[in-house]
Structure 1
Amino acid sequence: RNISLSYSSKFFIIQGEYITPEKIENVYIHSKFVAQLFVHGESLKSCLVAIVVPDEEVLLKSSADILNIHDVSFEELCSNKEVKKMILVDMLDIGKKAGLCSFEQVKDIYVSSEQFTVENDLLTPTLKGKRRNLKKHFAIQIAEMYSKLK
C-alpha cells in the first residue's frame, strides 16, 4: 500500500519555500482513501498539486455510506467532484494534524483510477514511484489543475 517515490526531488516553490514532496506524500498516504499518490510542485508555481489513486474498496464503501452514491464504477467515482472533495478534505485534515505548513498542503488533486505499476513504467521494480515518468504521464492533468488555481 505505501508506495515511496524514487530519487531526491526537493525543490523551491515561487515563494522561496523548500519543499520535500516525499515528506508530504508520507503524511497523505495515511488517508484511508489513498492507495498511491504523487505530490508535484514547480519552482514557478506557488502551490502543490497531487495525483491520487484511491483505495478502490474504501472508496466504493465510503461513497455509498457518506455521499449516498451507489451502483457506479470505480472509474466513475474517480471522476466525481463530490468524491474528489471528500478525498481532498480528508488529506488536508491529515496534513494539518501532522503539522504540514500551509505551503506544504496540496491545493488540488486529480483522482486517477489507474494504478502506478511497474508495467506502465510508473514504478521501479522495487515499487518506488518514478517521478519523471509520473510527471510526464499526468502532464495534462497537472497543467489543468494549475490553470484552475490561477
Structure 2
Amino acid sequence: MRQAGYWLEHLKKHFPLALEGQDLEGVHQVRVAARRLRVYVELLGWRVLRDDLSRLFRGTSRVRDLEVALSHPLPPGFRDHLKESLVRTRRALPELLASSWTRPFYGPWPPFPFAGGGVADPKAPGKAGRGKAFRIPLDLPP
C-alpha cells in the first residue's frame, strides 16, 4: 500500500488535468487518488474527510463514465447525445474541484492536518481548553 502522502500529491497533480479535459486520465486519476486516500481516512476514523473524498469521487463519476463510453464505438446519434452530456457535465467540474469540499485536498495545507510522528505538537492548530493537538502520521507504515 502506498503512503498517504503519495496519493495526496497524485491528487494535486491530476486536478489540472481533470479540469482541462484533454486527457482521459485526468478525471480517472483524481478518482483513483480519492479512493486511496479514503482508505487512510477510514482507517483513522475521520468521517468528515471521508465524506469529502466520497463527494469528490461521486462528483467526478459522471464525467468519467461519459469519457469511457465515448472512447468506444457508438451509434452516431447516441455518441452526439453523450458528447453534449459530457460538455454539460464538465462545466460543473471546476465548481466541484474549487469548492470548499475539495479545496483542502489541493490547497496550501494537506487534508491530513496533523502530519508527523504521532506526538503532541504545541504548534499544531487546536481549540483552547481541549488539550494539545496531536500529530497523526501522514505516511503510515506498510
TM over 0.5: no
Structure with the larger strand share: 1
TM-score (norm 2): 0.28
TM-score of the pair, normalised by structure 1: 0.27
Which structure shows the higher helix fraction? 2
Higher radius of gyration, 1 or 2? 2
